Structure 1
């Protein structure tokens, strides 16, 4: 199936393009980029031009920053195209709900992706947790923003999410492992004095029954990334590291298998198209929204890229 990639930035080049190139279900037919596309691939200046010129392309994958994504997704849905959304699926929860309703009414598939859920250790971790009582949960998600988002001003602007851009990856795993079990009870958000989104966040979750559950997100990490989730239960402990790629049960590493996060996303998108259904889960984004609603704001040192 032909697919168009909209927004040719770092995530598109690092993840989407290789995944599509290796896919046996999709072929890249066109791109949309105002700053230049991909050598040998037809490029359009905006999504309106693409939709007009290429009615034969049934699916689009939107990789631009979250704030402009709603307009592009709405236009694609109105043109009868299936839509895949890079995470987070929108700049607000409300607009994602609107897109889902529009997609259902138009009879097209809408896929709100959460790539970290496709990490090799996540599915076996969920299977191991089934039937166990969680007693403690700890998330540490820390990285160097200068390494992973160099010169990307949009992340510091309203709607850019700041440290929640990577932090929502952890929350996507959390809501996969513990669907509907927790909500944010307290939050502390550290904003650089010269920025509009947080550089660090500390969250406390509750299950209403005294569970000890916290998350610590930080973009000021030096000396290597920390992307891990630790869960203690009534009959053992689980640890996911490297963003969910590695799984440990009671200290012993478990065998895992997978095709890679983004190849798995495109496989799932193909399945959705074949079955004619959407997949739109806003649970990770709801945690972020609650953190902003409940969060105590702390002003930190100015950040300069």
Structure 2
């Protein structure tokens, strides 16, 4: 079977750190082109300044991975879907829920694959955590997701603009794990969003949620942490405590600790290939809905200015 010819659109940090290596290591794909108006591209791979140029001039492609800021993904995805090209959306999948819903409908009508990706769900501990929790009664959940924005998003002004999500850009990773491992749906009760006086998006957030059985869920997000970073989810159950740490790569249950090699992005691309081969889409909006709910219902407080 011939490999799927894919173009990567947007060559920022995540594309170079994760997407390009994952594509190179996934035999189902071949990197056909890269697209960016600001980056010179990768040696030996055709490079174009825009998706429009690529679609007009070639090379031919079967799929695109959209790694641009979310505020511009909708238009790019529409261009691809109209040409019958499969679309991989980095997270968050778009700037709004309505955009994602519209893209899902377009993909269905075009008969092509749309994949709203959640890379943290492919962290090593997540699948076994989901299996372990399936038979347990959830009593309480605590999430602490604190990191240093200057380390992970240096100079990325778009992330502070409307649609960029601010601290929810990493926070949605935790929500993607939460909504995947818990056996019941989750909804927001209250939220506090801390927004720097010179920015449009929050630098920290405190969320109170619960599942449909009433189990309390608390989430602490902060982009101001220096030193060791915290990406931890603790689930208290009737059979003891489960902990996912290091972003989901380390799983601890009452029977011990598992720490396996993380292959998040290779896992995403294997999933994308299987969806394409099977003629299916995967557009789970549960994590994105919780973020939207936080912006809808959250109390906003102004905090000191943030400067890179």
Both proteins in one fold, TM over 0.5: yes
Other-structure match for 1:227: 231
Cα RMSD, aligned residues only:
1.2
> Are 1:13 and 2:16 matched, yes or no?
yes
Matches within 5 A, 1:87-98: 87-98=91-102
Length, aligned pairs only:
304
Other-structure match for 1:29: 32
1:16 aligned counterpart, secondary structure? helix
Deviation string 1:145-184 (CA, Å, 9 cap, x unpaired) is 0000000000011111000000000000001012552101
Task: Please give the alpha-carbon distance, in whole angstroms, between the structure 2 residues aligned to 1:38 and 1:106.
Answer: 31
Task: Please give the alpha-carbon distance, in whole angstroms, between the structure 1 residues aligned to 2:103 and 2:16.
Answer: 26
- Offset of 1:288 from its aligned partner? 0.1
Distance of aligned partners of 1:106 and 1:152 in 2 relative to their CA distance in 1, 3 Å threshold: same
TM-score (norm 1): 0.97
Other-structure match for 1:76: 80
Task: Please give the alpha-carbon distance, in whole angstroms, between the structure 2 residues aligned to 1:18 and 1:173.
Answer: 23
- Offset of 1:208 from its aligned partner? 4.9
Deviation string 1:174-197 (CA, Å, 9 cap, x unpaired) is 010125521010000000010000
Deviation string 1:178-235 (CA, Å, 9 cap, x unpaired) is 2552101000000001000000000000235442210000000011110010000011
Other-structure match for 2:181: 177
Deviation string 1:46-90 (CA, Å, 9 cap, x unpaired) is 111111222621111000000000000011000110000000000
Range moving further from structure 2, 20-29 or 121-130: 20-29
TM-score (norm 2): 0.96
Instruction: Give the one of 115, 132, 136 matched to 1:111.
Output: 115
Task: Please give the alpha-carbon distance, in whole angstroms, between the structure 1 residues aligned to 2:214 and 2:276.
Answer: 42
Other-structure match for 1:284: 287
> Are 1:191 and 2:195 matched, yes or no?
yes
Task: Please give the alpha-carbon distance, in whole angstroms, between the structure 1 residues aligned to 2:213 and 2:61.
Answer: 50
Instruction: Give the one of 296, 299, 304 matched to 1:296.
Output: 299
Instruction: Give the one of 129, 133, 148 matched to 1:129.
Output: 133
1:185 aligned counterpart, secondary structure? strand
> Are 1:154 and 2:154 matched, yes or no?
no
Task: Please give the alpha-carbon distance, in whole angstroms, between the structure 2 residues aligned to 1:129 and 1:150.
Answer: 37
Task: Please give the alpha-carbon distance, in whole angstroms, between the structure 2 residues aligned to 1:247 and 1:271.
Answer: 27
Range moving further from structure 2, 128-137 or 46-55: 46-55
Range moving further from structure 2, 152-161 or 206-215: 206-215
Is the contact between residue 124 and residue 259 of structure 2 (CA under 8 Å) also seen in structure 1?
no
Distance of aligned partners of 1:140 and 1:31 in 2 relative to their CA distance in 1, 3 Å threshold: same
Distance of aligned partners of 1:251 and 1:150 in 2 relative to their CA distance in 1, 3 Å threshold: farther
